[in-house]
């Protein structure tokens, strides 16, 4: 009998028998948390990519804005190079920041007989002598001072611009307070000239052709904007509108043996044919703008006021009185008149921008000077200075016995030039 412990049963393996798939292990709670964290990271990454895409447009927009600011700054620096270039930066800082040196106050020394012009300019006092251009501040300190080489300069002021022109020569200099000097040169000898606030210049010159007079206009860069001729009238005066966009000129010609005056108004510089106003038996002495659409022409026996759009000028005659002097103040022109044969006393006639009499002021004593005072006038006669309001009401103060010139530069104060000093009067 066989022994049981030696018996083995073998199981035959069937070919192609595929073992059953083992079930996938289920994640434990710990692995489930890691998978959840991965999903959060993917979501955060996608959100960040979306935000980056959205931020591309604002960055591009900021770059464009920055580029536009740079372009504007370049244009401003180019336009204001006259006060920003290294040669004049100290003057600019001196004027804009400090207002010039601290002076000892008025009176201040000045050689009155040597003074060609004394005018307000940009809130300061301009004094031009035979060889210097000086600007003073309220304390009589020097804002800037320079020499000039003109032998017979014509001085004109508008806004912040000062012009010196060589009568009989061909050179013009324009300078803003604290800025550099710009030089213009005409082709012919200068008869008269005018400057606008922005530094553009108009000049009447002689002519060597069949014409009698010529007109040239320069912008503030020195580029020629207009060149035209007058073949009939001898031009004697010119004025630029304050914005530099319009110009008026006066002249005279003979009409059957009698003098005829002409006022020429150039509404644009692209037109060489101006609007012409004529008047017989009168001689126009000066022309000035009262505002942007009113022009005053002062004659030897009447004042013309021309408004844009009118075909004929308004005029006020002097009624058999002679013209002593005149001044333009704001939107009014004041003419000083005196009876023929008289040696003292007279009347100031103020004419408004509509060509109507605003008021009259009678005065006594020897006439010395008239000057603009805000929108009204200073009248210096004898040893007195008269100031007036818009109704012609006057105030009187004693003036220097040797007074030569007067102007207003600081508030309501009058600055009076004597033989040796400039005095300041509080009005």
pLDDT at 82: 47
d(CA 289, CA 285) in angstroms, rounded, equals 14
- More confident: 1 or 135: 135
**Residue 144 exposed, middle or buried by CB count within 10 Å (0-12, 13-18, 19+):** buried
pLDDT at 178: 74
| Range 370-374 average pLDDT | 88
In this structure, of 191-200, 214-223, 390-399, the range with the lowest mean pLDDT score is 390-399
H or E element that contains 83 = helix 81-84
| Range 308-318 average pLDDT | 88
Of 162, 185, 210, the position where a domain reaches its end is: 162
Of 135, 162, 189, the position where a domain reaches its end is: 162
Half-sphere exposure (Cβ direction) of 6: Cα atoms closer than 13 Å = 3
pLDDT tops 80 at residue 108 = yes
Question: How many CB atoms sit inside 10 A of residue 337's CB?
Answer: 19
d(CA 404, CA 408) in angstroms, rounded, equals 14
Of 162, 197, 219, the position where a domain reaches its end is: 162
pLDDT at 59: 62
Name 167's bridge partners.
190
Is residue 20 assigned to a domain? no
Under 8 Å between Cβ of 240 and 247 = yes
Is residue 254 assigned to a domain? no
Q: Between the CA atoms of 143, 149, 151 and 153, what dihedral angle is there, to the nearest 10 degrees?
A: -40
Give how many domains the chain has, as a whole number. 2
Is residue 172 assigned to a domain? no
Q: Between the CA atoms of 65, 69, 75 and 79, what dihedral angle is there, to the nearest 10 degrees?
A: 150
pLDDT tops 70 at residue 94 = no
Domain interval for residue 148: 81-162
Sheet strand arrangement including 414-417:
108-109, 421-425, 414-417, 405-407
Is residue 353 assigned to a domain? yes
Is residue 99 assigned to a domain? yes
Is residue 94 assigned to a domain? yes
pLDDT at 26: 52
| Range 385-396 average pLDDT | 84
Question: Which CATH number goes with the domain that contains 141?
Answer: 2.40.10
pLDDT tops 50 at residue 7 = no
| Range 165-176 average pLDDT | 94
Question: Which CATH number goes with the domain that contains 406?
Answer: 2.120.10.30
Is residue 23 assigned to a domain? no
Give the pLDDT confidence of 403-414 residue by residue, as tens digits: 889 998 888 888
Tell me the average pLDDT of the chain: 82
Query: CA distances (Å), 32 to each of 35, 42, 44, 251, in order?
Result: 5, 16, 19, 103
Dihedral sign for Cα 47, 49, 50, 51, please: positive
pLDDT at 95: 53
Q: Which of 180, 169, 172, 276 is nearest to 219 (CA)?
A: 172
H or E element that contains 51 = helix 29-79
Which pLDDT band, with edges at 50, 70 and 90, does 54 fall under?
A: low
Under 8 Å between Cβ of 204 and 187 = no
- More confident: 2 or 172: 172
d(CA 55, CA 63) in angstroms, rounded, equals 12
Is residue 410 assigned to a domain? yes
Q: Which two tokens stand for residue 239?
A: 């004025």
């Amino acid at each position: 009998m066989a022994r049981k412990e030696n018996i083995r049963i073998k199981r035959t393996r069937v070919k192609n028998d595929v073992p059953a798939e083992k079930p996938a292990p289920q994640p434990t709670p710990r692995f489930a948390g890691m998978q959840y964290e991965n999903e959060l990271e993917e979501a955060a990454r996608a959100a960040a990519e979306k935000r980056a895409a959205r931020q591309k447009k604002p960055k591009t927009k900021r770059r464009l804005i920055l580029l536009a600011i740079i372009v504007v700054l370049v244009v401003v620096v180019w336009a204001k190079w006259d006060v920003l270039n290294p040669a004049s930066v100290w003057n600019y800082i001196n004027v804009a920041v400090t207002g010039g040196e601290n002076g000892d106050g008025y009176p201040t020394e000045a050689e009155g007989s040597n003074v060609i012009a004394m005018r307000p300019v940009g809130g300061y006092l301009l004094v031009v002598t035979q060889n210097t251009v000086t600007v003073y501040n309220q304390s009589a300190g020097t804002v800037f001072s320079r020499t000039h080489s003109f032998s017979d300069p014509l001085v004109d002021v508008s806004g912040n611009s000062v012009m010196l022109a060589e009568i009989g020569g061909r050179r013009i200099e324009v300078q803003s307070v604290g800025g550099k000097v710009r030089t213009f040169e005409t082709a012919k000898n200068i008869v008269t000239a005018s400057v606008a606030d922005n530094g553009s210049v108009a000049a009447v010159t002689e002519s060597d052709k069949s014409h009698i007079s010529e007109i040239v206009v320069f912008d503030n860069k020195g580029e020629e904007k207009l060149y035209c001729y007058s073949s009939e009238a001898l031009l004697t005066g010119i004025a630029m509108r304050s914005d530099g966009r319009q110009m008026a000129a006066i002249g005279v010609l003979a009409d059957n043996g009698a003098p005829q005056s002409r006022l020429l108004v150039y509404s644009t510089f692209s037109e060489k044919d101006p609007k012409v106003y004529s008047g017989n038996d009168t001689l126009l002495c000066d022309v000035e703008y009262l505002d942007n659409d009113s022009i005053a022409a002062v004659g030897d026996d009447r004042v013309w006021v021309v408004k844009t759009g009118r075909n004929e000028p308004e005029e006020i005659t002097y009624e058999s009185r002679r013209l002593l002097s005149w001044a333009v103040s704001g939107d009014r022109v004041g003419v000083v008149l005196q009876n023929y044969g008289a040696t003292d006393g007279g009347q100031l006639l103020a004419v408004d921008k509509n060509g109507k009499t605003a008021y009259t002021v009678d005065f006594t004593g020897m006439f010395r000077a008239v000057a603009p005072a805000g929108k009204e006038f200073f009248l210096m006669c004898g040893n007195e200075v008269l100031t007036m309001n818009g109704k012609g009401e006057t105030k009187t103060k004693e003036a220097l016995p040797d007074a030569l010139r007067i102007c207003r530069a600081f508030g309501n104060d009058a600055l009076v030039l004597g033989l040796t000093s400039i005095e300041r009067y509080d009005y």
